[in-house]
Amino acid sequence: MPGVLMMIVISIYSIVDGIFVSNLVGTTAFAALNLIWPPIAVVGAFGTMVGTGGSALVSKTMGEGREEEARRIFSMVVGFIFLLSVILAVPLYVSMGHIAILLGAEGDMVEQCVIYGRICAIGLPFFMMQMGLQPFYMVAEKPQLGTILSVLCGFVNMGLDALFIAGFGWGLAGAAAASMVACFVGSAVPVCYFASKGNSSRLRFRTVAFVWKHIADSASNGLSEFVGSISFNVLAMCYNLQLMNSYGEDGVAAYSVMLYIGYIFFAFFAGYNMTVTPLVGYNYGADDKKELHSLLMHSLKLMFCLGALMFLLAEAIAVPASRVFVGYDESLLSLTVHAMRIYMPSILLSGITLFSSAWFTGLGNGPVSALISFCRMFVFELGCVFLLPLLFGVEGIWFAVDVAEVLSVLLCAVLLLRFRPRYGY
C-alpha cells in the first residue's frame, strides 16, 4: 500500500501542473506542455530502466545471502544514473526547439514548448534520480519512505505552482520550475538518507566502483520498463500528431486531460508492480516456487478486480473530472468527455498486462518483459492509432487503446504459460 500511495501522490501532483496551466495560462500553453513532455520523459526513462532493473538485481543478490555485494551494486546503480543524467541533459536542452517543431508545434506553441522543455532539461538529473531511486524503497524495506517523500514533493510542487503561476504570473515557466524543484527534493532526501549514519535500512552507500557487467545486467533487466516508457511517450507523440491534424490544439488538449485522469488509475498498477517486482526477484533467488505461484495467482486476480472497479469509477467521473481541466470551453469539454468514455474501458485489462511485464522483470527475464511492453504500445496500440482512423474515420483514434489491450492480454497469457515450466510458478 505505501508503494501504491506513493505513485498516486506522484500522479496527483503531476496533474496539478495541468490544472493550473489550463485554467490560468490557456489552452495553447496546456497543449504545449503535453506536446513537449513526452520526449523529456523518453530521456528520463533511462533512470527508470536502470533503477528498476538494478532493484531486481539487488533483491536477487540479497535473496542469495550476499548483502554486502548487494549494497555495492546499489551504490553503483545510483552513481551511474546520476552520471548518465548529466550527459543526456545537454543535448536535450540544445535541441528543444527542433523537437517542438518536429512534433507539430507552430507559432506561439513552439516558444512555449522551448520554455518548458529547457527548464526540465536543466532539472533532468533530479528527475532521473528521483525515478531511479523509487524501486529501491521496497528493497530497503522502507516503503513508507517513498510515500512520505511523495507527499512532501507533492506539497512542494502544488505550493510552488500556486506561487509561481498564480502569484508571480510566470506561466508555463513557473510550472516547469515547480516540477523540477519537487524533483530535487525527491532525489536529494533519499540520497542523504542512504548516505547517513542514521540509516536503519538494509541498503546503504558504499564506495562507487563501476562494474559494467552489473550495469549491463541492470539495464537489460529494466529494459521492459524502459521500452514501456519509451513506447508510451512515443505513442503520445503519435497521438498528438494525429490529433493536431484532425482537431488542432483542442484534440491535443482533450487527449491530455484523458491521460491526466488515467494517471490516477494507472498509479494503482504502477505502485503495486514497483513493490511486487523485488518480491518476485527475492523469492526467485531463494528458489521459493510455492511463494512465486501464490504471488502470481493473487496478483492476477487483484489486477482484474482493480481494473473493473476503476473502469466503473472512471465512467462515473468523466464529466466532473473533465470540467476541472477545460470547463471554460464547452466544445472542448464535450470532446474530452466523449473521448474519455471510449478510452477508459481499456483499464479493465491494462492491469494484467502491466503486471505480466513486471513479473518477468522480477524473474530477471528482461527481454520477455520488454516484448510485452513493446508489443502493447508499439505494435498493437501504435498500429491501431494509424490503422483504425483509415478504416473508421477520425473516431478510430479513441478506440486504439481498447483494441490494443485485448491483444496484449492474449499475448501475456501465451507467455505466462510458455515460461511456466522454466520458472516453476
DSSP characters for 160-210?
HHIIIIIIS--THHHHHHHHHHHHHHHHHHHHHHHHSTT--SS--------
Q: What are phi and psi of 222, to 5 degrees?
A: -95, 10
User: Rounded to whole angstroms, how far apart are CA atoms 280 and 60?
Assistant: 9
Q: pLDDT at position 184, please?
A: 97
Q: What is the DSSP letter of 419?
A: T
Mean pLDDT for the stretch of residues 191-205? 89
Q: Count of alpha carbons within 13 Å of 330, Cβ hemisphere only?
A: 0
Contacts of 271 (CB under 8 A, 6+ apart): 3, 4, 5, 6, 7, 8
Note down the domain range covering 267: 2-423
User: What angle, rounded to 10 degrees, do the helices at 366-374 and 396-418 form?
Assistant: 160
Taking every pair of Cα atoms in the chain, the longest distance, rounded to a whole number of angstroms, is: 63
Q: pLDDT at position 80, please?
A: 95
Neighbours of 207 (CB within 10 A): 8
| Percent of the chain as helix, strand, coil, to the nearest 5 | 85, 0, 15
99 vs 105, more confident:
99
Over the Cα atoms of the chain, what is R_g?
A: 21
Q: What is the DSSP letter of 327?
A: T
Set of cell numbers at residue 277: 517486482
User: Rounded to whole angstroms, how far apart are CA atoms 42 and 226?
Assistant: 8
Mean pLDDT for the stretch of residues 52-78? 90
User: What would the pLDDT profile of 215-259 be if each residue is shown by its tens digit?
Assistant: 998 888 787 678 767 777 888 888 888 888 888 788 888 888 888
Contacts of 395 (CB under 8 A, 6+ apart): 342, 389
Is the model's pLDDT at 130 over the cut of 90? yes
Buried b (16+ CB within 10 A) or exposed e, 179-203: bbbbbbbbbebbeebbeeeeeeeeb
User: Rounded to whole angstroms, how far apart are CA atoms 377 and 288?
Assistant: 33
Is the model's pLDDT at 389 over the cut of 80? yes
Is the model's pLDDT at 5 over the cut of 80? no
Q: What is the DSSP letter of 344?
A: G
CB 229 within 8 A of CB 33: no
User: Rounded to whole angstroms, how far apart are CA atoms 15 and 126?
Assistant: 19
pTM of the entire predicted model: 0.74
Mean pLDDT for the stretch of residues 299-319? 92
Q: What is the DSSP letter of 165?
A: I
Mean pLDDT for the stretch of residues 97-117? 91
Mean pLDDT for the stretch of residues 39-54? 91
Is the model's pLDDT at 337 over the cut of 90? yes
Residue 308's pLDDT band, with cuts at 50, 70 and 90, is: very high
CB 194 within 8 A of CB 204: yes
User: Rounded to whole angstroms, how far apart are CA atoms 260 and 27?
Assistant: 15
Helical segments of 1-142, H only: 2-24, 27-63, 67-94, 96-102, 108-122, 124-133, 136-139
Is the model's pLDDT at 125 over the cut of 90? yes
Considering only 170-174, 258-262, 383-387, which range has the smallest mean pLDDT? 258-262
Residue 141's pLDDT band, with cuts at 50, 70 and 90, is: confident
Is the model's pLDDT at 43 over the cut of 90? yes
Residue showing cell 528458489: 287
Structural domains counted in the chain = 1
Sign of the CA dihedral running 61, 140, 77, 207: negative
Is the model's pLDDT at 72 over the cut of 80? yes
Q: pLDDT at position 217, please?
A: 87
Mean pLDDT for the stretch of residues 323-350? 89
First to last CA, the chain: 24
Considering only 65-69, 241-245, 338-342, which range has the smallest mean pLDDT? 241-245
CB 42 within 8 A of CB 229: yes
Average pLDDT score over the chain: 89
User: Rounded to whole angstroms, how far apart are CA atoms 400 and 407?
Assistant: 11
Is the model's pLDDT at 36 over the cut of 80? yes
Residue 123's pLDDT band, with cuts at 50, 70 and 90, is: very high
Considering only 41-45, 79-83, 369-373, which range has the smallest mean pLDDT? 369-373
Distances (CA, A) of 271 to 1, 82, 197: 8, 23, 29
Q: pLDDT at position 190, please?
A: 94
User: Rounded to whole angstroms, how far apart are CA atoms 344 and 352?
Assistant: 15
Sign of the CA dihedral running 163, 169, 171, 173: negative
Distances (CA, A) of 29 to 54, 66, 105, 211, 307: 37, 51, 11, 44, 32
User: Rounded to whole angstroms, how far apart are CA atoms 259 and 232?
Assistant: 11
CB 285 within 8 A of CB 64: yes
97-101-104 Cα angle (round to 5): 145
User: What would the pLDDT profile of 256-288 be if each residue is shown by its tens digit?
Assistant: 888 888 888 888 888 888 788 888 888 888 888
Question: Under DSSP, is residue 40 helix (H, G, I), strand (E, B) or coil?
Answer: helix
Q: pLDDT at position 193, please?
A: 93
Q: How many residues does the chain have?
A: 425
Q: pLDDT at position 103, please?
A: 86
